[in-house]
Structure 1
Amino acid sequence: MVGKKEIKFIKSLRNKKFRINNNCFVVEGKKSVNEFLKSDYKLVKLYTVSKTIINIDKQEVIDKNLLEKISFLKNPDDYLAIFEFTKPTKIRKNNFIVALDSVSDPGNLGTIIRTCEWFGVNDIICSLNTVDCYSPKVIQSAMGSVSRVNISYLDLKKYFEDNKSCLVGTSLNGNSIYDLKKPIKKGVIVFGNESHGVSSKLQEMMNIKIKIPKYNKSMYPESLNLATSVGIVLSKLMKIS
């Protein structure tokens, strides 16, 4: 029986402060829940409308109305699970790493995580003010990729100073990414905030500055969606590398 206290607890996990205090987060949807169950994340509890599909410990069957009450989605699936945080593994430096500077939109972050996994990028490092990867909207848009991609939050400037590697940064003053010919086997690819781009303190540290050229000569649209930009850049870098 799911009581009022438990319902209140689940709903509190929408808030980053309560996720941190309780060391756990919510995953919704059959596909995403199954992927987290296969990962190193420890299940706290699983709520389902039917017990016939997944049969594991720590599962409670609830009715559809209650699931809709505790869900963060407008149209919830029949699965809602709570998992404990897991510590990030050591950052691997023998491949590409994606760095995110002050990314604020949860939907963008989730799509970026999923895109990185598609292109074989296993490590993402985020500035301390980048949106929380355990936000419900990030988890939803990443479609299970958070369970497999290693995501760390740290001081990017200090990390770049302590770990000398090729820094490729997106910049309006950069050269067209399509002019890149020389393979870049490993390094850090830095993407900035949706509105302001990569901060000036990090721009100064870049070895290579790139941009995606605009072919439409009108003034609109003013910019590309950040997650779209990540996909274009990774596609080009993987092709030449």
Structure 2
Amino acid sequence: MNVLSNKQIKLISSLQKKKYRDQHQLFIAEGDKLVMDLLHAKTEAAYLIYTKDWRNLSNPLKKYKIEKRIEVESNQLKKISNLKNPSPILGVFHIPKFKIQDDIIQNSLSLLIDDIQDPGNLGTIIRIADWFGIQNVFCSPNTVDLFNPKVIQATMGAISRIKISYTPLGDLIKKHQKENFPIYGTFLEGEIIYKSDLRNKGFIIMGNEGKGISPELQQLVSKKLFIPNYPANQATSESLNVSVACSIICSEFRRR
């Protein structure tokens, strides 16, 4: 049985903060399914830290390239875990780099995330993209950090299958905007989504939780959509949670 050094504990604990994730180009993932999904997707692992009980139960690590494997007591995992009830396995992974492929973007649906701040919302949207076969998600520079541990946990492994990039969204839209490439966004004055002509390619913009789609991007939207409440004109919540709205939108696109 190994013991984590103070240096290792300090490094792993520091990765709770974006500053150090950026500095070391590392992030944390906890839980059997999440860690194994990342390994299966060939995400490079710097450390894999696990208990003897987990190894005896699973022992699936031989085929994966892992820089350092450390078997520890469960109380050691508690020192570095971000979870209230720590999992028996924690991975420290190198932050992957994604290459944007313009030809794929032009012929498929992509999600654009405009300054979403809640880690749970971003993680859930990535799961939704995975479920509905949307391979590319583009985030504005001010969107919550993808490698925030709470975002990683909320993706439930979907992060291993989706390409996520941070880029100025206005520039991205202008680069790809063409007559037959729609830019979708949700608005109260939009066309009811269930009656709209929806294409199998384009950008779908999901706006900030409180402010919605930014004014800059509103001007670039070519197709305004509206998710109606039911029954119409009945008093209801002011708006839908952004991840719930994203699920409804993606479902309707795929239903067609």
TM-score normalised per structure 2: 0.90
Instruction: Give distance in 2, aligned partners of 1:237 and 1:151.
Output: 20
Tell me the amino acid that sits aligned with residue 20 of structure 2: F
Query: Is 1:107 the equivalent of 2:117?
Result: no
Structure 2 counterparts to residues 121-200 of structure 1, below 5 A:
121-164=134-177, 165-180=181-196, 182-200=197-215
2:225 aligned residue (194, 210, 219): 210
Using the TM superposition, give the Cα deviation of residue 222 of structure 1 relative to its aligned residue in structure 2, in angstroms: 1.6
9, 21, 24: which one pairs with 1:22?
24
- Aligned partners of 1:221, 1:171: CA distance in 2, in Å? 15
CA contact (8 A) 1:174 1:211 kept: yes
Structure 1: segments with no counterpart, 5+ residues: none
Moved more, 5-14 or 104-113: 5-14
Per the alignment, do residues 145 and 125 of structure 1 end up closer, same or farther by CA in structure 2, a change over 3 Å counting?
A: same
Residues 117, 149 of structure 1: 8 Å contact kept: yes
The one-character-per-residue Cα deviations of 1:108-148 (angstroms, maximum 9, x if unpaired) are 00000001110000000110101111110011010111111
Moved more, 30-39 or 207-216: 207-216
Letter in 1 for 2:44: K
1:63 alignment partner in structure 2: 73
Alpha-carbon RMSD = 1.3
Secondary structure in structure 1 of the residue aligned to 2:186: strand
Structure 2 gaps of 5+ residues are: none
1:40–1:86 Cα contact (<8 Å) kept: no
Q: Distance in 2 between matches of 1:17 and 1:46?
A: 22
User: Structure 1: how far apart are the matches of 2:13 and 2:237?
Assistant: 38
Who is 1:235 aligned against?
A: 251
Which of 108, 115, 119 aligns to 2:132? It is 119
CA distance in 1, matches of 2:166, 2:198: 28
Q: Distance in 1 between matches of 2:191 and 2:182?
A: 16
Q: How does 1:76-95 map to 2 (within 5 A)?
A: 76-91=86-101, 92-93=104-105, 94-95=107-108
Q: Give me the whole-angstrom Cα distance separating, in 1, the residues matched to 2:195 and 2:211.
A: 24
Give CA-to-partner distance per residue, 1:164-183, whole Å, 9 cap, x none.
13101111221111111x34
- Residue in structure 2 matched with residue 225 of structure 1 by the alignment: 241
Aligned mates of 2:11, 2:113 — CA distance in 1: 31
| Matched residue count | 239
In the alignment, the residues of structure 2 paired with residue 184 and residue 127 of structure 1 have an alpha-carbon distance, to the nearest angstrom, of: 23
CA-CA distance at 1:5 after TM superposition: 1.9
Q: Hey, what's the Cα distance between the residues in 2 that align with 1:111 and 1:75?
A: 21
**Please, what TM-score do these two structures have when normalized by structure 1?**
0.95
- Match of 2:247, SS state, is helix
Matched letter for residue 166 of structure 2: Y
What's the CA shift for 1:219?
A: 4.3
